[in-house]
Amino acid sequence: MTPNRSTAVMQRRAPAPDALDYFPTPPWAVRALCERLILMGILIRRKRAWEPACGEMHMARPLMEYFEDVRATDVHQYGNNGICDFLALDTYAPWPPVEWIITNPPFLVAEQFIATARRHATEGVAMLVRSSFTESVGRYHSLFGDEADLPSYELQFAERVVMLRGRLIQSGAPDPFNLDPQGKPRPASSATSYSWLVWMPGQHDWKKRVIPPCRTALERAGDYPEYPEQWTKIAPKEGGLFA
């Protein structure tokens, strides 16, 4: 894959405070959601979407490939994203409505993100969560105990979606932020499985579907940041960068 050399990715990145629990989403996982929605006959092409935890736009950009208009905001200024505390929408002037709200919510406030999104999206909400997210007594009572609150779909990834704190690295590629005892980058990997939970008004029968392996088919040149400063930092004094 060709690293993303855009100004937005390489020069304007502002690291998020640790409290924001920032785990960037691989763009291919967003395309997988959109392709699955289209395959299920759900019309999204002429719709508007809102990504309210957009970070460095890794999810917003692939959404722009499918939706007619995409609103990208975050509570933190990463670059040229809009600023909005999604969990405090009642303190803002009314936002123009959107059909879909799609995001990878911060884990510690995921339930609040889901509740807020369901109040403000007119046609659908899609949240990328750990597959174990539904295995919780607390969330059963707060999210899944009432039949009217059940998701419409649970879209389980058959392959791992590699999401790492504060950085976006292609699955299996050397991660310059994670070094072995010899100082060499370990391959990016994850032991965590992920699913998309989708809510659509009036559809609460919780159908489960599996997203087949599709990462290599849905990755695009420019999806992954290059992180040149980190590579320079870990480069050996002689011999150049690691292969």
In a domain, 60, yes or no: yes
With respect to residue 35, please indicate whether it lies within any of the assigned structural domains.
yes
228 part of a folded domain: no
Is 231 domain-assigned?
no
Q: Is residue 227 part of a domain?
A: no
- For residue 90, give the CATH number of its domain: 3.40.50
Residues 18, 149: Cα–Cα separation, whole Å: 31
- What pLDDT score was predicted for residue 91? 85
Closest CA to 24 of 62, 65, 54: 54
Q: Quick check: is 242 in a domain?
A: no
- Tell me how crowded residue 209 is: count the other CB atoms within 10 A of its CB: 15
Cβ contact 130:44 at 8 Å: no
Q: Count the domains in the chain.
A: 1
The answer to whether residue 243 is domain-embedded is no
Domain span at residue 151? 7-221
- Measured between alpha carbons, how far is residue 20 from residues 73, 189, 239 in Å? 14, 22, 38
Q: Does residue 237 lie within any of the structural domains?
A: no
> What is the predicted pLDDT for the residue at 94?
83
- The whole-number pLDDT of residue 220 equals 97
pLDDT tens for each residue of the chain, 243 residues long: 223 323 333 334 455 555 467 999 999 999 999 999 999 999 999 999 999 999 999 999 999 999 999 999 999 888 878 899 999 988 887 888 999 999 999 998 999 999 999 999 999 999 999 999 999 898 888 888 888 889 999 999 999 999 999 999 999 999 999 999 999 999 999 999 999 999 999 998 999 999 999 999 999 999 999 999 999 999 875 455 554
On whether the CB atoms of residues 56 and 22 are closer than 8 A, the answer is: no
| Beta-sheet pairing, 185-187 with 98-103 | unpaired
pLDDT of the residue at 147: 85
CA–CA gap between residue 175 and residue 189 (Å, rounded): 9
Cα torsion through 134, 74, 26, 174, rounded to 10: -110
